[in-house]
């Protein structure tokens, strides 16, 4: 029983199923760890185990949930001051679905405000520390979920990914993070950042856990018009080899600004893939290099509109004023953090009269080109692989003064988001003692194949994540 928290989520579920583990004890063990968290990974931790022991295929293995998922009666602030004290009257579809499958809510995890950030330094609750090195960031925006899973404070967690917000923190914390195909998971109840890009996904200790959690997340939800589910059931991965698998390394995406240690770990992982039978070739994604620019038009534009509802009228913070305009502008000034304000401004500008065609309209066309690039690439290769992030976890505060350098963290992850295709980050080694992530992306709805390939590589790489657990 003492090593219950050492088990992966899938192992814990199996132990509960086999009668070797009491799910209430499992919950309590994690609850105690989460309550003692000193990484600032959580914004809320359950006071006690749910009254009814959970049943269902997930066997009561408790779940960390990013703050931006609405949870009925439980604080849901998306890391923002403007939603101070907000407790929604309903629960996000994916959280409800997982609860039904037997994964009870253990804690809400810290995040960059409204998922805008790559370091988790933009949270109203303060930054999250990287368990590998507490002077460093865990990545973002799902930084709390990533740090908590890496440190063993939760068995697994939900994050969301708009331009890399699952994959990048997973990479920086040495865990697995899957961004599913856009539409695979319901967005209903997820406090929106950029609606056409946001997707919920698992952050887990290994690929098997990611597959298990994802299996119970995906599905069409009549309350989300853009959800479609997966055409097939999610299988637990079992591949040991990569024979005949063609991995494509994009010509147009590597090189620029990647830390040598990251590149070395990435190359070593590719060697492992070759040993497993894969071929590695160059693949052209001629427009991918424009992804970041298009992304920083589209995402802020949608965000500027999505965040208009925070106006001090129906919920959240209000700064009282005698007239409506002042109430609006002061409420939003005081309620939003600097990065959120920056993106609202950027997005409003990009949509405003006279600029739409040059910015939003063009960015949507770049998006078309990037999606076409990937389609063409997947005619030639099975998967596209890149480093997840150009660098390892950086020092707290290192990039807060320079938004653009922060944005460049998303360089490798944004093109897949724009194309809406699934991509997974798995840890592939260390650089300067810090984890490096490898990103593997496949065609839309190819999650089963992505998970299989990632599993085979994971087994061969044998990454040791214990450096983050105490």
Residue 459 binds another protein (CB under 8 A): no
Active site residue 123: no
Q: Where are the alpha helices (DSSP H) in 408-462?
A: 414-419, 447-461
Q: Is the peptide bond before 141 cis (omega within 30 degrees of 0)?
A: yes
Q: State which of residues 86, 254, 284, 460 lies at the interface with another protein (CB under 8 A).
A: 86
Enumerate residues 421-450 that contact another protein by CB under 8 A. 444
Q: At residue 306, what are phi and psi to the nearest 5 degrees? A: -60, -30
- The CA distance from 128 to 110, in Å, is 7
Residues in contact with 83: Cβ distance below 8 Å, sequence separation at least 6, in sequence order: 76, 77, 191, 310, 315, 316, 317
Residue 385 CA to its chain's centroid (Å): 18
Q: Given 66, 108, 179, 399, which residue is catalytic? A: 66
Enumerate residues 204-243 that contact another protein by CB under 8 A. 222-228
* Residue 284 C-beta: closest distance to another protein, Å: 15
Task: Single out the segment in contact with another protein by CB under 8 A; choices: 17-25, 190-198, 254-262, 448-456.
Answer: 190-198
Q: Given 76, 80, 118, 141, which residue is catalytic? A: 141
Kindly state the number of chain residues that form the binding site for another protein, as judged by CB under 8 A: 99
Enumerate residues 10-39 that contact another protein by CB under 8 A. none
Q: Given 165, 186, 304, 446, which residue is catalytic? A: 165
Enumerate residues 363-402 that contact another protein by CB under 8 A. 363-369, 371
* Residue 351 C-beta: closest distance to another protein, Å: 4
The nearer residue to another protein, 130 or 218, going by C-beta atoms, is 218
Instruction: Tell me the two tokens of residue 101.
Output: 């499958």
Q: Is 57 exposed, middle or buried (0-12, 13-18, 19+ CB in 10 A)?
A: middle
Residue 257 binds another protein (CB under 8 A): no
Active site residue 389: no
Q: In this structure, are residues 187 and 177 in contact, taking their beta carbons and an 8 Å threshold? A: no
Q: In this structure, are residues 340 and 122 in contact, taking their beta carbons and an 8 Å threshold? A: yes
Q: At residue 18, what are phi and psi to the nearest 5 degrees? A: -80, -5
Q: State which of residues 30, 42, 132, 360 lies at the interface with another protein (CB under 8 A).
A: 360
Residue 414 binds another protein (CB under 8 A): no
Q: In this structure, are residues 217 and 200 in contact, taking their beta carbons and an 8 Å threshold? A: yes
The nearer residue to another protein, 266 or 295, going by C-beta atoms, is 295
The nearer residue to another protein, 24 or 318, going by C-beta atoms, is 318
Q: State which of residues 64, 127, 131, 189 lies at the interface with another protein (CB under 8 A).
A: 189
Residue 352 binds another protein (CB under 8 A): yes
Active site residue 141: yes
- The CA distance from 199 to 163, in Å, is 10
Enumerate residues 96-155 that contact another protein by CB under 8 A. none
For residue 97, what are the CA distances in angstroms to 94, 190, 386?
5, 13, 32
Q: State which of residues 359, 383, 394, 412 lies at the interface with another protein (CB under 8 A).
A: 359
- The CA distance from 423 to 123, in Å, is 25
The nearer residue to another protein, 361 or 433, going by C-beta atoms, is 361
Residue 252 binds another protein (CB under 8 A): no
The nearer residue to another protein, 78 or 210, going by C-beta atoms, is 78
Enumerate residues 330-349 that contact another protein by CB under 8 A. 330, 332-333, 336, 341-342, 344-346, 348-349
Q: In this structure, are residues 357 and 140 in contact, taking their beta carbons and an 8 Å threshold? A: no
The nearer residue to another protein, 55 or 329, going by C-beta atoms, is 329
For residue 328, what are the CA distances in angstroms to 332, 333, 424?
6, 8, 40
Q: 56's torsion region: left (phi>0), alpha (psi -120 to 50) or beta?
A: left
Q: State which of residues 193, 214, 266, 290 lies at the interface with another protein (CB under 8 A).
A: 290
Site string for another protein, 87-106 (x = CB under 8 A): xxxx-x--------------
Instruction: Tell me the two tokens of residue 19.
Output: 């009668």
Residue 81 binds another protein (CB under 8 A): no
* Residue 229 C-beta: closest distance to another protein, Å: 10
Count the alpha carbons within 13 Å of 194 in the hemisphere toward its beta carbon. 28
List the one residue out of 222, 216, 214, 229 whose CA is nearest residue 183. Answer: 229
Residue 470 binds another protein (CB under 8 A): no
Could you list the active site residues?
A: 66, 141, 165
């Amino acid at each position: 029983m003492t090593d219950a928290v050492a088990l992966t989520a899938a192992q814990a579920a199996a132990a509960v199923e086999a009668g070797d583990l009491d799910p209430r004890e499992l919950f309590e063990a994690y609850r105690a760890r989460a309550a003692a968290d000193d990484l600032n990974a959580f914004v809320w931790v359950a006071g006690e185990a749910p009254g009814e022991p959970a049943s269902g295929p997930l066997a009561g293995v408790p779940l960390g949930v990013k703050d931006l998922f609405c949870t009925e009666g439980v604080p849901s602030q998306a890391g923002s001051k403007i939603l101070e004290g907000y407790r929604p009257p309903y629960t996000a579809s994916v959280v409800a679905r997982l609860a039904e499958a037997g994964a009870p809510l253990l804690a809400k995890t810290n995040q960059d405000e409204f998922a805008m950030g790559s370091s988790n330094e933009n949270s109203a609750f303060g930054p999250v520390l990287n368990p590998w090195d507490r002077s460093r960031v865990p990545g973002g925006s799902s930084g709390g979920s990533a740090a908590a899973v890496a440190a063993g404070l939760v068995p697994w967690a939900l994050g969301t990914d708009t331009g890399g917000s699952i994959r990048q923190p997973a990479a920086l914390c040495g865990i697995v993070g899957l961004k599913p195909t856009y539409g695979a998971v319901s967005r209903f109840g997820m406090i929106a950042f950029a609606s056409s890009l946001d997707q919920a996904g698992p952050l887990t200790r290994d690929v098997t856990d990611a597959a298990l959690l994802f299996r119970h997340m995906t599905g069409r939800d009549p309350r989300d018009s853009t959800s479609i589910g997966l055409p097939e059931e999610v299988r637990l991965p079992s591949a040991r080899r990569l024979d005949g698998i063609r991995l494509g390394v994009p010509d147009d995406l590597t090189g620029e600004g990647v830390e040598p240690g990251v590149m070395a770990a990435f190359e070593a992982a590719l060697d492992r893939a070759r040993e497993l039978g894969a071929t590695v070739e160059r693949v052209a994604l001629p427009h991918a290099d424009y992804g970041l620019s298009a992304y920083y038009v589209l995402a802020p534009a949608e965000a500027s509109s999505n965040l208009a509802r925070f106006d001090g009228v129906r919920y959240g913070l209000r700064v009282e004023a005698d007239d409506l305009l002042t109430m609006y502008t002061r409420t939003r000034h005081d309620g939003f953090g600097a990065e959120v304000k920056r993106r609202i401004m950027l997005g409003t500008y990009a949509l405003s009269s006279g600029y739409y065609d040059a910015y939003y309209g063009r960015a949507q066309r770049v998006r078309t080109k990037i999606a076409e690039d990937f389609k063409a690439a997947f005619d030639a290769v099975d998967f596209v692989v890149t480093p997840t992030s150009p660098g390892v976890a950086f020092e707290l505060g290192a990039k807060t003064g320079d938004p653009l350098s922060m944005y460049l963290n998303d360089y490798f992850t944004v093109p897949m988001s724009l194309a809406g295709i699934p991509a997974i980050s798995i840890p592939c080694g260390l650089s300067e003692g810090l984890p490096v992530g490898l990103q593997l992306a496949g065609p839309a709805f190819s999650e089963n194949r992505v998970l299989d390939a990632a599993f085979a590589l994971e087994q061969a790489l044998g990454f040791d994540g214990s450096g983050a657990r105490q």
